[in-house]
Structure 1
Amino acid sequence: MLIALPPDAAPTLTIQSSSEENMALPGPLAIAPQPEGFLRNSEGEIIGGAFVPAQETLPFAKPVLELEEVGTVRGMRLARLTFYPVRPSDEQLQVTREIEADLSFGMADTAVFQTDSIAADTAPFQQTLAGLVANPAQLQGEIRPAAALSALSVTTNETAVIEVNETGITAVTYNDLAAAGFPVSSVNPAGMKLTRGGAEIALEWLGDGDAQFVPGESFRFYARPWFNRWSENDFYLLTTGGGSLRMGAQAGPTNGLPAGTLRQTLLLDENRYYTSDWVGRDGDRWIWDELALPGNETGQYDFSLESVNSGATAELTLWLRGANQSGANPDHKVTVKMNGVSLGDILWDGKTDKTAILPVPAAALQTGNNLQLSLPGVSAGALDKVWLDAFQVTYTRGSGAAAGQVQAAGETSSRQYSVTLASTGGAAVYDVTAPGAPVRLTGITVNGAAVSWGDATAGTREYLVVSDAVLLAPARVRMATPLRTTAVTGADYVIIAPAAFMPALTPLINLRQSQGLTVALEDVQAIYDAYGGGQPTPEAIRDFLADVYGRWSPAPTYVLLVGDGTNDPKQYKPDTRRTWIPPYLADVDPWLGEVAADNRFVTVDGADLLPDMLLGRLPVNSLAEARVVVNKIVRYETDPFFGDWNSKVLFVTDDPDSAGDFIAESDRLIDKFISAPWSAGRAYLNPPGGMDRDEVYTTVMSRWNAGQGLVVYNGHSSIHQWGAERLLHLDDVAGLNNNGRLPVVLQMTCFTGAFQEPFWDTLDEALLRQEGGGAVAVCGATG
């Protein structure tokens, strides 16, 4: 039972009377196993399949009556009242046949719900919830401002976005900024401020000390791109006005210090296979390789190192994942070799992560290297499956010349160091131990190709050696996209789209405005820049929506995202389509793990998963596709086809199986919801007595083309089709020429709405994009 809680309620539940009895059992209850792959523990590991020991506390032990607050919808608090009439206890069942209880809100007076006094921006939610809660008179609330956002920047016309994709000292010139449109001629360099993720980054000014930025001047900063799963680039924002953080300086002469050694680290990571149910060490869902016994028992991984000191030992770090589980413990064994030299075996158990650090003996590392991983099996006939996420080699640098910048760690005590560069013009050494505030070392020595410096500081420091010839240039410099909605104070309907698709949206905006809604259109890039520091993340979109939800009056009720998105936004796979607006990926599927959960974009009021705005997406990939879908919607609402087609509902089902009796469920829907003027048609797969596959298919296509107001499907699906028998397939959509007689399609099934798939169109997307037919709106599962 759903209960409305007044805003300031402190509810208490008091049982006044109950009728109970105990029913003896012949023995303790046998507790069923948890389904395999259904639950995760606090570390995110999939658990299940094991019986709970009888001596443990029963996991489903509950009070007879329980009140749980489930969340807040647009300021309205909701709670769930649950009655547990039968409860196991030792070798008996406690059965409650009747119960009487009082629920007190702890308030002297409670306002009465009045349908004629609802705020316009809350009415759609409040009217719907009034029919669901047991006490609509207490359904009250008001929209509260969102908690203070960690807004990274408020973009202005003087904000430049500097995109980088390499670690090292990056130089930004006058010409770089001028070409992007940055107002270099009017900027005082002393007031330039560089930030990343809201934190200020120290920059080094290379110019004179006057108040003008002129050609030939530039600045440098240390870029260390942070991993994010949405872009290969990292983003630094350059703004003007106020003071700025500058790099410090520290004396770095050798001064007779003893010679030290430098340790370099090379991280190798390739992303070949997507794993929706596992998070890697860096938060990504991609793995490099899968080893399997039997099958692909051995993996070979070639890599090169620059200037290896072969007389020193090294260290190999491997990030692995057990991908299967057997009865043995341990059930994974990986044999590791480097250039044919055995480094040992790694053993562990279960579908768990394994980080292994192995010593590499002297002389085992070379300039060109081969890492070999193999699965010998923990025992004869054993099955084993292991994923490789990445590996890292830490080694002592030799005296060979560096082709680029050199970043390396020193020793813990005072030492002098030397690095050989291919070019030493403009050589410089930086201490980058604190990445946001590097320090330039002064007094370094350049002798031929060797750059030497000393450091009397205690503790291991990280150094970066560079020359003018190997300075990094930004991957891109651009001006931040300004928000279109800066002056907006309220809107009912918010559209978020890339600028490339906006020309298609005018008819839809005009339609919504003619229906009395105020409409706000925002550029998704502007949202990334203002709320994500340039990062194209779903969290930036959510932060924007949370911000305007709390600030605007009216607060948005409807949100439309215009643009497709995938779970491969970096396009690791060459045939992956572009992500125009990212899906909100979350671990919500009990079996797959991560799928698109766009509902999370609008769960902004309270720490719950209840939507506070109504959100939809047009998963289009071009301006042409956007025009097709928008024109279908506008024509459907303004120029509908005549006839009774819109009162017809076609119910389609798969044949019953262990997953459920789809036919019976469909009939229940018809009995409960379909009455005049609506009429129901049936296309049920139910051989041998009912329709076979061809009859269902023919019925679906012919009735769809004749016009249906609703099409409802219940059964199994893939991303391409209904049912294993192919009751309706992606390829059939081209044959739907129902023109303006467009149904709304509702599906109780799997996968047809998985727009996040990077390579293929889903059935739902095809129905929506089909010109001259298909559907006007589709509701389907992303997992």
Structure 2
Amino acid sequence: MKTAVSLTLIVFSVLILSGNLDAQKAKSLASSVDTQKSNGLVSGTLAATGAKSTRFENVGAVSDGRSTWLTWQMEVEIGNIGFNVYRVGRRGAELLTPVRIVQGAALQASEIPSYGDSYFFYDETGTVSSSYYVETIGMNGQRIASQTIYPRYVPSLSAATGITDEQMRNTTFRPTRLETETPVFTKDIRTEMEQYRQLADGSTHRMVISQPGVARIGVKREGLYRVTSAQLMAAGFDVTSNSANWQLYIEGVEQAIIVGPAAAYIEFYGRGTDTRETDIRQYYLMNGSSAGKRMGEWVAHPNTSTVLSRSYSQTFVKKERTQYVEDIFNGQAENYYGRAVTTNPNAPAMTFDLTGIDFGSANSTMQLRFQGYVGGAHLIEVILNGETLAPVMGSAQENFTADYTIPTSFLREGSNSIKFRAMGSASDFVFFDTMKIGFNRIFLAQANTLNFYTQNYRATQIGGFTSPNIRIFDITRDGNPLLMTNLTVVPHGPTFGIDMPAERGRSFFAVEDSAILAADSVTRNNPELVGIPTNAADLVIISYKDFMPQAEAWAEYRRAEHFNVKVVEVSELYDEFNFGALSADAVKNFLRYTYENWQTAPRYVLIIGDASWDSRNYENTGNWNFVTPEMVPTIYSETASDDALADFNNDGLAEMAVGRVAARTATEVNTIFTKTVNWESSLSSTSLAQRGALFAHDFNNGYTFDVMSQRLANQLPAGTPSTFVFRGETDANTNLITAMNTGKYIVNYSGHGTAGSWGGNPLFFNVNSVVTTTDHSPSVYTMLTCLNGYYHWLYFPSIAEVLMNTPNKGAVVTWASSAKTLPNFQEDMATRFYTKIGDGDIPRIGDLIRDAKTQVIGADLRYSWGLLGDPMLKVR
């Protein structure tokens, strides 16, 4: 399940960190962390003034002597991009967030005020004698420091905080290495490569994946792969079959392979992919009815040329993907960027390694790409290995670049560094995106591989391998590598190389045996095709593979009501509709196909599995994007939408009723299924009248939420018992939980909110408050606020998820938004919803929601308001 597993983006008050918790409240992280009231000390030249400035509420820390856990809560944030965390020692203040800041409320809400948000940071080398302070980064250039934080000693951080040691270690940022080296081919080679580039064959691909016993082989990197017969057998492939007929396909095109002696393994040249959703490309091995394609051999002729190639042209690419920023609108491009670039003169340099630099080449090239965030002009200082280059210029939220021609002498063999600093106004703030360095490279192996090309009729000497077990493949023609033979390995001191004779220029890959890659996955393929018109279903269940038993149980439950149900494991959709690559488009295209072609088009879609904005696991917290949603733009930000997967005419209104069980474990799926069954078994025509409704509401800050709540209550049948709880009343949290404990039929909140709390104040109601309620009959929850349905949050569960995943209490379904929306439109939808649920003529929750969304016209509002739970749930 989602737990505290990252240091950033804790802007939604998931944790209660105020330090003044009532005794009745459940154990939370902050209950054992001493907090100190902080007035906000200004470290820059702009002082915080009045209610228009960011202010700290309190700060605190605990340490077991080996590491330290810091927490802080903000009274208010206005335009606060994020935080730097400093540890103060004998040598002064050390920045602990050089690559990834702790992101603040502005990255979700721009300059809209945010109240009560809470944050944490784990210092894995901090001690009791360490001291700290936290510094805000304002969009206006303001830097506000907290008071000094002195940790309190505790024997065990885990016991003191309720968070395991492993979870704390996971919060330490360990970025994924995103560096590639690609040859820049000559015109002749490029022309031939394009001539033989393979095009996807959809019909052949469908034939392949429909065969029994096919193994799926996933790869991320470019190189030579080996898959053993044991791996293939574990994936259901018949390794006793005639290996001469083994055939490997990618996107419906057969690839040449090597089959090892006694069919002990196969080898193939593989390449990953690079999309916003995945870097894994799927290959498919089948046992065909005819001979499979095998790698040929090219016998090298003796060298007759005295002309020797000195080097080849290469582009080194380094990306950073450390910050997810949802309020940058960039179309289909990903919203991940690298380190923040500010006016901080002490920001550390970015380091990278280059090898094999040909210093005999006078010049090299470099391109830098940045993503602007704040408005106005950007001017970025660039210092490469101590050499100051021309500054990079950009504007506002542009993605901007600068191209350089630099002396090759500016580069270093081995470790290099480049430093960025904003030179403009104090408020300047951009993100680093990508660096490309083009240079001539000698034929020197790196990590026992070399991806290179030769020039027409020039001999080539490659070297730097650690053993003589070297093979060279001609990879010029896509999918048809040739193994070079008749080559002699030459020792060069402690290393080895090969002298290649002069031939026409070709693209080559050389590899020493220890550098042969293992596949990222080898799995069984399901041969059943779902994209066939003879299928029919009232309900389609799309499940993550680990939850298929639970999905089948859910299907049987609905079948017992005489509904036709089809269960599909989500990787089948990726296989059939996107050549195996994870993609929201694959899910959408499948649903579109069912809508347009199945004999009975589904009316309901139940998704079983969680989602995450970090589909590629950049942050190394785990692959939690089990069933990927569609990422859609709204007025304020990008967000996840399941309804968009079933909208086929782009009006924002799904053609099917969609719900999601946002679970990370089978236990959570079982919990929600049990609550669904129990709800429906106890449902009667008098449930609403007997159990009544609860309306919680916020202060009238920008909208009359009290009047809104009363108007919604008036839509219910006369005499429906309704309880109202106002955030500002005495003992509001106690009164709210007491009312919840009575097991209301329906619960509504109206007001301001975050992903983890109501009212922008975690002491009113938050994810930890759920556990303080006693067991009771679950309720239908409608949450007319922002972000309560932010289920794709990487680090923590949203309040909607916690209400769903908590056994024997909480919610049977929740209807909430994954984005920021305006309360007047929220009320328009809710008025229709409460009217119809009161009338009782629309019995199922998914249909009620689809009907309610017809009352608003904004696609972003329709998309972002999502249902967690079963869309077929009977509510009347």
Q: Deviations over 1:233-291 (max 9, x none)?
A: 33211223256555566676543162222233332223221122347899432222111
Equivalent residue number for residue 268 of structure 2: 221
Q: Report how far residue 697 of structure 1 moved.
A: 3.1
Q: Is the Cα contact below 8 Å between 1:414 and 1:457 reproduced in 2?
A: yes
CA distance in 1 between counterparts of 2:804 and 2:204 reads 37
Q: Distance in 2 between matches of 1:232 and 1:565?
A: 17
Cα–Cα, structure 1 residues 341 and 409, in superposed 2: closer, same or farther, change >3 Å? farther
Q: How much does 1:578 deviate?
A: 2.7
* 1:666 is the counterpart of 2:703: no
1:479 aligns with 2:524: yes
1:21-49 alpha-carbon deviations (Å, 9 max, x no partner): xxxxxxxxxxxxxxx9xxxxxxxxx9x99
Q: Partners in 1 of 2:371 and 2:229 — Cα distance?
A: 48
The one-letter code of the counterpart of 1:193 is: Q
- Segments of 5+ residues of structure 2 without an aligned counterpart are 1-78, 80-107, 112-201, 820-876
Aligned partner letter, 1:184? V
The 2-side partners of 1:266 and 1:283 are apart by 21
Counterpart CA distance in 2 for 1:357 and 1:437 is: 36
Does structure 2 conserve the Cα–Cα contact (< 8 Å) formed by 1:158 and 1:239?
yes
1:181 aligns with 2:236: yes
* Residue 718 of structure 1, CA deviation: 0.5
Task: Quote the residue 2:220 is aligned against.
Answer: 165
In the alignment, the residues of structure 2 paired with residue 277 and residue 170 of structure 1 have an alpha-carbon distance, to the nearest angstrom, of 40
User: What secondary structure sits across from 2:314 in the alignment?
Assistant: strand
Instruction: Tell me: CA distance 1:484–1:203, structure 2 relative to 1, closer, same or farther (3 Å).
Output: closer
> Does the CA contact (< 8 Å) of 2:203 and 2:252 recur in 1?
no
Determine the C-alpha separation between the residues in 2 that align with 1:455 and 1:161. Answer: 39
3-state SS in 2 of match to 1:756: coil
Q: Which structure: greater helix fraction?
A: 2
Q: CA deviation at 1:614?
A: 0.9
Query: Which one-letter code corresponds to 1:422 in the other structure?
Result: F
**Could you tell me how far apart the structure 1 residues matched to 2:758 and 2:334 are?**
31
In structure 1, the residue matched to 2:678 is 635
SS in 2 for 1:780: strand
CA deviation string 1:299-331 (max 9, x = no partner):
4122222332233233223221122222xxxx2
1:396 to 2:445 alignment: no
Are residues 1:621 and 2:664 paired?
Answer: yes
Q: 2:218 and 2:623 mapped to 1: Cα distance? A: 22
Does residue 683 of the first structure (1) align with residue 725 of the second (2)? yes
Q: 1:758 aligns with which of 786, 794, 798?
A: 794
Cα distance in structure 1, aligned partners of 2:691 and 2:349: 63
The alignment covers a number of residue pairs equal to: 610
Q: Percent identity?
A: 22
After superposition, the C-alpha distances for 1:450-488 in whole angstroms (9 at most, x for unaligned) are 323356547xx5332224343323233222134496998
Q: Does 1:724 align with 2:760?
A: yes
- Aligned pair in 2 of structure 1 residues 262, 725: CA closer, same or farther (>3 Å)? closer
Secondary structure of 2:710's aligned partner: helix
Correspondent of 1:769 among 802, 805, 814:
805
Out of 642, 646, 649, the position equivalent to 1:602 is 646
Partner of 2:7: none
Cα separation, 2, equivalents of 1:661 and 1:709: 24
Residue equivalent to 2:602:
556
Equivalent residues in 2 for 1:377-456, closer than 5 Å: 377-378=423-424, 381-398=425-442, 400=444, 402-411=446-455, 413-423=456-466, 425=468, 427-441=470-484, 444=487, 446-448=489-491, 449-454=496-501, 456=503
Distance 1:163 1:644 in 2: 51
Task: Look at both structures and tell me which one has the larger radius of gyration over its CA atoms.
Answer: 1
CA deviation profile, 1:393-438 (whole Å, cap 9, x unmatched): 3322236554311012445x54332210425645433343454444
Aligned mates of 1:281, 1:288 — CA distance in 2: 18
Letter of the 2:647 counterpart = T
Aligned-residue offset at 1:752: 0.4
Q: For 2:213 and 2:502, locate their aligned partners in 1 and report how far apart those are by CA, in whole Å.
A: 39
> What is the TM-score of this pair, normalised by structure 2?
0.64
Q: 1:725 to 1:398 in 2, by over 3 A?
A: closer
Q: What corresponds to 2:783 in structure 1?
A: 747
Instruction: Tell me the TM-score normalized by structure 1.
Output: 0.71
Counterpart residue number, 2:369: 319
| Equivalent position SS for 1:215 | helix
1:242-641 equivalences in 2 (<5 Å)? 247=295, 253=301, 254-256=303-305, 258-260=307-309, 261-278=311-328, 283-293=333-343, 295=344, 298-312=347-361, 313-326=363-376, 331-375=377-421, 377-378=423-424, 381-398=425-442, 400=444, 402-411=446-455, 413-423=456-466, 425=468, 427-441=470-484, 444=487, 446-448=489-491, 449-454=496-501, 456-457=503-504, 462-483=507-528, 489-505=535-551, 508-575=554-621, 578-587=624-633, 589-592=634-637, 594-604=638-648, 606=649, 608-640=651-683
Opposite residue 397 of structure 1, the aligned amino acid is R
CA contact (8 A) 1:402 1:420 kept: no
Q: Which runs of 5+ in 1 are unaligned?
A: 1-35, 37-45, 50-147, 208-213, 686-691
Secondary structure of 1:363's aligned partner: helix
In the alignment, the residues of structure 2 paired with residue 582 and residue 724 of structure 1 have an alpha-carbon distance, to the nearest angstrom, of 28
2:689 touches 2:720 (CA, 8 Å); kept in 1? no
**Corresponding position of 1:235:** 282
Of 467-476 and 725-734, more deviation after overlay is shown by 467-476
Q: Which moved more, 1:618-627 or 1:723-732?
A: 723-732
Task: Give per-residue Cα distances to partners, 1:505-535, cap 9 Å, x unaligned.
Answer: 5654343223221222222233333334333
Letter in 1 for 2:350: Y
Q: Distance in 2 between matches of 1:552 and 1:220?
A: 40
- Distance (Å, rounded) in 1 between the aligned partners of 2:392 and 2:579: 41
SS at match of 2:753: coil
Indicate if the aligned counterparts of 1:334 and 1:373 stay in contact, CA closer than 8 A: no
| Distance (whole Å) between structure 1 residues aligned to residue 247 and residue 269 of structure 2 | 14
Distance in 2, Cα, partners of 1:551 & 1:269 = 42
